[in-house]
């Protein structure tokens, strides 16, 4: 009887050497599967499956999977792995190989980047609608020029945002270097989501505009901002704490979290359909 899968040991070694993602260390605990924001919303991107296909040397099959284009590049799968396997690095390698092998055109990367940008804009608009706020997005320049009187500030906000569930956030250590925003996989348009702006507004005590902002809910808790910060500011914890304060102080609707989670599933589903559209017609813009 023929084997259902014919492992390619040489391809496995080639992939492991090229990626250095420690794929051979995977013991299928599924931590990556449960942490992936795309998979949590759609059940259509399982990093563990990709790692094990790579372990079997199934390179040709991997290059033709739409799954490798669903990834947001947030690295949550890599951060959570107890064996230091790096599925995100494997996915980046597979995308490069897919272009090199002619499976997709070179323009795919640029088209996908634009689709990601539109996706985050759509997420912000939905969050704004749920919060009954205008979906208009102020530019960074407009935010910097907005006057704030002393009475508009909450001097206690930096202290309250300096701790989340007993963990220090090091909020006050920020000196606005922008490494967090540069590392953030969803900060593709700073007027949609900008970790630095959130952290600076928290430090300045600009409470109500911050806690009522739709952008506060776009964070996917990937910890990229925290990992990149040279001052050890834990941006993901700062944002979690601010979300908590917004709920505690009734600055968001009582059912917002439930409604937001439901809308997220719909948005991610539309995003994957748009990616499928790009793969089906790589030369044309996909309709999200």
pLDDT tens digits, 50-104:
999 999 999 999 999 999 999 999 999 999 999 999 999 999 999 999 999 999 9
Q: Which of 250, 236, 154, 143 has the alpha carbon at shortest distance from 203?
A: 154
Return the CATH architecture of domain 112-260: Orthogonal Bundle (1.10)
Phi/psi for 164 (5° steps) reads -135, 115
**SS3 state at 10:** helix
Model pTM above 0.75: yes
CATH topology of domain 9-100: Fumarate Reductase Iron-sulfur Protein; Chain B, domain 2 (1.10.1060)
What are the structural domain ranges in the chain? Answer: 9-100, 112-260
What is the rounded distance in angstroms from the CA atom of residue 56 to the CA atom of residue 74? 25
Nearest Cα neighbor of 277 from 122, 23, 104, 137 is: 104
Chain-centre distance for alpha carbon 196: 16
pLDDT in tens, 178-200: 999 999 999 999 999 999 999 99
Furthest CA-CA distance within the chain: 79
CB contact set of 126 (below 8 Å; sequence gap of 6+): 263, 267
Centre a 10 Å sphere on the Cβ of residue 22 and count the other Cβ atoms it contains: 17
The two domains 9-100 and 112-260 share their CATH topology (first three levels equal): yes
Spatial separation of the C-alpha atoms in residues 87 and 23, rounded to whole Å: 8
pLDDT digits (tens, 9 = 90+) for 238-275: 999 999 999 999 999 989 999 999 999 999 999 999 99
């Amino acid at each position: 009887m023929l084997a259902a899968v014919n492992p390619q040991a040489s391809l496995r070694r080639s992939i492991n050497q090229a990626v250095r993602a420690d794929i051979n260390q995977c013991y299928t605990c599924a931590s990556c599967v449960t942490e992936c924001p795309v998979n949590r919303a759609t059940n259509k991107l399982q990093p563990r499956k990709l790692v094990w296909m790579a372990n079997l040397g199934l390179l040709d099959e991997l290059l033709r999977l739409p799954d490798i284009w669903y990834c947001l590049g947030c690295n949550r799968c890599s951060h959570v792995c107890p064996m230091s396997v790096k599925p995100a690095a494997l996915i980046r390698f597979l995308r490069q190989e897919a272009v090199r092998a002619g499976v997709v055109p070179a323009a795919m990367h640029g088209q996908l980047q634009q689709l990601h940008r539109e996706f985050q804009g759509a997420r912000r608009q939905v969050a704004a609608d749920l919060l009954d706020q205008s979906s208009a997005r102020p530019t960074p320049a407009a935010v910097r020029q907005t006057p704030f009187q002393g009475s508009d500030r909450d001097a206690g906000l930096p202290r309250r945002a300096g701790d989340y569930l007993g963990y220090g956030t090091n909020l006050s250590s920020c000196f606005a270097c922008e490494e967090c925003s540069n590392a953030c996989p969803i900060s593709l348009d700073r007027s949609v989501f900008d970790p630095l702006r959130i952290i600076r507004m928290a430090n300045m005590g600009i409470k109500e505009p911050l806690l009522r902002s739709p952008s506060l809910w776009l964070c996917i808790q990937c910890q990229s901002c925290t990992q990149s910060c040279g001052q050890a500011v834990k941006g993901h914890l700062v944002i979690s704490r601010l979300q908590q304060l917004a709920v505690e102080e009734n600055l968001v609707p009582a059912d917002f979290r439930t409604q937001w989670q439901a809308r997220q599933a719909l948005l991610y589903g539309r995003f994957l359909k748009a990616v499928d559209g790009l793969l089906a017609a790589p030369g044309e813009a996909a309709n999200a």
